[in-house]
Amino acid sequence: MTTPSVTSPKRVLFVCVGNSNRSQMAETFARVHGGGRVEAHSAGSRTSDRVNPRAVEFMREVGHDLTSHRSKTLSNISDVAVSMGCGDECSLVRARKRGSIPDPREMPPEKFRAVRDLNREEREVTAEESVTGAMGSKGSRNRGKPVHRP
């Protein structure tokens, strides 16, 4: 009798400078869109003390609670790292995919929401590409190219 193989979820690490906005949102969206197929994490190259209260507020608007999230450092290695556009601050991260999602920290509410929504769209793709192995390949929708800015 053959035992069905159990595939471990792909570990995905989202990296930005402070781990207080973009990567926290990306981690949440990847968990939602990846289901049990993706184990999402986030970290920062220079972490802040906390998750930005505005990120908590704007994620709450779309049904996600970030109140228990904490800013974390780059101490764990994952299967996949996705840079949030932190440039030289994350230059040592071997990312299979590099993004260019703007930091919404100082943006007015409507632009912050636009960044949140862009992040959600990109994480749907990231979750699928992580599982199918297309991350950073020719078949990848983004292929590491910068995404549009709100």
Supply the pTM of this predicted model.
Answer: 0.71
Amino acid letter at 8? S
Dihedral through CA 98, CA 104, CA 107, CA 108, nearest 10?
120
The per-residue pLDDT for range 71-123, each reduced to its tens digit, is 988 765 556 666 666 665 555 555 556 677 889 999 999 999 999 999 999 88
CATH code for the domain defined by 10-132: 3.40.50.2300
The two structure tokens encoding residue 22: 């973009």
Q: Which residues are catalytic?
A: 16, 86, 90
